[in-house]
Chains A and B, each alone.
Chain A
Amino acid sequence: MSQLNDRVFGLVMLVIAVAYYYGATQFPVPFGGSEAVGPETFPKLLAVILAVCSLYMIVKPDADNPWPVSRTFLELAIAIVTLIVYALLLEPLGFILATTLAVGTLCWRMGAKPSRSYLTGLISGVVVYVLFNYGLELPLPLGLLEVS
């Protein structure tokens, strides 16, 4: 049983702890001279705790959970990219179109038929849009569908 996950993560966190501590030493001295507890005290304390935990993880790692491989990993990547693209297109395309695409793609990748997926996306997008714009009076962007 491999224990690499915890070791690698512990190492990354250790690096972060050291960088975080260094960052705390670089704060400018606040106006009116330094006090017993300045802005740097609490972060320094936290950096020490984080470092201790990281060391523990490196020395005594738990057994790994398997990471997703090939196909599943690809599916995960597609999902994350879909979310990012959703955020990217929300304003230019407008809420309804972007939602149709994003929810549809997610449903489809999770195993639904493409036609039903994008239909779900369209319906949920329209329902939420109407609910927000007219029911709750919180405007969502209409984007391309806007008729000026």
Chain B
Amino acid sequence: METLHYLSLGFGVALQPENLMFALIGCFIGTLIGALPGLGPANGVAILIPLAFTLGLQPETALIMLTAVYAGAMYGGRISSILLNIPGDEPAMMTCLDGYPMARKGKAAEALAISAIASFMGSLIATIGLILLAPLLARFALTFGPAEYFALFVLAFATLGGITGKNPMKTLMAAAIGLIIATVGIDLSTGTQRYTFDVLELYEGVDFIIAIVGLFAISELLFFIEEKAGAGRGMIKVNPLKLNWREIGMIFPTTLRSGVLGFIAGVLPGAGASLGSFITYTLEKKIVGKKGYFGEGDPRGVAAPEAGNNGASSGALVPMLTLGVPGSGTTAVLLAMLVSLNITPGPMMFTQNADLVWGVIAALLVGNFMLLLLNIPLVGVFVKILSVPPMYLLPIVTMVAFVGIYSISHSTFDLYFMIAFGVGGYILRKLEIPLVPVILGLLLGPEMEKNLRHAMQISDGDWSILWGSGLSIGLWLVAIIGLLLPVIVGPILRRRMQAAKATTQD
């Protein structure tokens, strides 16, 4: 009952004309971002943060727009998977398996429509899941003390590499680098200057928005230049759409199963959207069995991973909103938005900023309908933009990143900083050190230190308080499992994903 009350409050926020407009803009830009290879959702949202900031939007409007971008990017990823056989983002990889063969058979429009419907179902199921689960989790999280929070942050880092992550030590190192950068600046509780080297610009610490934009956008540009991928690739033409209700009916059970499974994968730490789409695809293949023709353009093979990854991406918002601990790169960037709006993420948000949280949740529902409506008739527009080769697109994106950062502070110092982060990001990616933990470290560093301090003040300097309660021991255990599991299960899973991918490449 209470949830319904809050949800109607949320709709009150989400349906305000201004918010509706920005949600629509966000959906459109998001689909575009998702569709363009090399401009992943995390990257896209990162570039938009400074713009949302300088526009002076209301916090809820800004967050609604960026959440719409996030949801839209998950829709968009499928377009390039189906038409180019290049996933627009990582979770869309599984959509290539049946989407591209379907397109080659002259059924591109059907594949796009089916995947849009599947995305819609996946998101819808997961958003309902979010509405049911988030308040419960938030209430539970209120019992967390500083020691539990500290353990939770460790857990977040430990599971961030994901089960498919390659080298957990590199994840850990990335997290340490991020946390170390976060300690630069004036210490909040004592006023001590740390690692500022008497440079005035460093007193307030490193602005994580600059770091995020540099790490993602600039390093992406450098990668494209290195791979000489500027010209783009040949694309399959889209035929006129011929889809009947029977075909939609056929994929309906698939989308239901996959949406639920995807949502669960999204909520769990360390799983994420990539694993969500992988599991749903494999499961669907098992259930349908010999009757299907998976890998050769089975519509269910398109529907399952799309419902799965959209479900997972909405599911990933649960830990981000309730605990303030994001489980993926893009939710980390969304968290950055919250932090820079001076909103402390975590369970308190559900009581202190109820209109904001529920407004965003309601906007997810509204945005989902918008996306479905945008994606079926307007798919031609997106296809047009997709055919602009990256050699024009990426420089323009880089320019937008420059404008965004410049307009925050009107200082060129920030721009040099951003370029430096871009070069650093390029080097880290070359060494296969993941960037997301670096960003998460930057974001969570101050909170993590604050909680460590509080815990130690309570215990009067006794370190054992950090594993003093059953709950915190549980969190530590999950963290350790999260670090160890990739070493054991990771190679097997990765090989399977590779094998699945290899069978469709001719």
Contact = CB atoms under 8 A, between A and B. Distances in A.
B419 A110 contact: no
Contacts of A37: 452-453, 456-457, 461
B190 A39 contact: yes
Interface string A1-34: 0000110010001000000100110011011000
A110 B397 CA distance: 14
Interface in A65-114: 65, 67-68, 72, 75-76, 79-80, 83-84, 86-88, 90-91, 95, 99, 102-103, 106-107, 109-112
B392 interface: yes
A58 to B, nearest CB: 11
Contact of B398 (A41, A106, A128): A106
Contact of B169 (A28, A53, A110): A53
Secondary structure of the A side of the interface? helix
A148 B100 CA distance: 57
Contacts of A56: 169
Contacts, number: 162
B416 A50 contact: no
B21 to A, nearest CB: 14
Contacts of B230: 110-112
A41 to B, nearest CB: 7
B381 interface: no
A79 B183 CA distance: 31
Contacts of B226: 68, 72, 75-76
Interface stretch (B87-95, B102-110, B173-181): B173-181
B403 A128 contact: yes
Interface residues of A, number: 63
Contact of A36 (B172, B392, B395, B457): B457
Given A72-B226, A79-B225, A65 B430 contact: yes
B225 A75 contact: yes
Contact of A87 (B195, B390, B402, B453): B402
B391 interface: yes
Interface in B146-171: 166-167, 169-170
A46 B448 CA distance: 12
A50 B173 CA distance: 6
Contacts of A57: 169-170, 173
A75 B391 CA distance: 13
B167 A62 contact: yes
Contacts of A67: 430
Contact of B399 (A13, A54, A111, A124): A124
A49 interface: yes
A147 interface: no
A11 to B, nearest CB: 13
Nearest to B405: A87
Nearest to B177: A50
A79 B391 contact: no
Interface in B368-393: 389-392
Residue picked from B226, B390, B452, most chain A C-beta under 10 Å: B226
B399 A102 contact: yes
B419 A84 contact: yes
B467 interface: no
B144 interface: no
Given A86-B402, A107-B392, A46 B192 contact: no
Given A102-B399, A106-B394, A76 B222 contact: yes
B47 to A, nearest CB: 13
A144 interface: no
Contacts of A49: 172, 176
B17 interface: no
Contacts of A145: none
B415 interface: yes
A143 interface: no
Residue picked from B167, B173, B231, most chain A C-beta under 10 Å: B173
Contacts of B402: 86-87, 90
A16 to B, nearest CB: 8
A140 interface: yes
Contacts of B225: 72, 75-76, 79, 109-110
Given A72-B226, A83-B218, A136-B55, A112 B391 contact: yes
B206 to A, nearest CB: 15
A142 to B, nearest CB: 14
Contact of A91 (B169, B222, B412): B412
Given A27-B194, A38-B190, A106-B398, A90 B415 contact: yes
A76 B422 CA distance: 12
Contacts of B218: 83
A60 to B, nearest CB: 8
A111 B394 contact: no
Nearest to A27: B192
Given A42-B183, A65-B432, A30 B190 contact: yes
Given A42-B452, A110-B224, A28 B180 contact: no
B187 A39 contact: yes
A24 B399 CA distance: 38
Contact of A107 (B195, B391, B460): B391
B191 A5 contact: no
7 contacts: A6-B431, A27-B192, A39-B194, A50-B180, A83-B419, A110-B224, A112-B391
Given A35-B457, A39-B190, 15 more contacts: A9-B427, A28-B192, A30-B192, A31-B191, A46-B176, A50-B173, A57-B170, A79-B225, A80-B423, A87-B415, A90-B402, A90-B415, A95-B403, A112-B389, A128-B399
- What 9 pairs across the A-B complex have the smallest Cβ distances? A36-B461, A106-B395, A110-B230, A53-B173, A110-B391, A87-B415, A30-B190, A111-B230, A39-B192
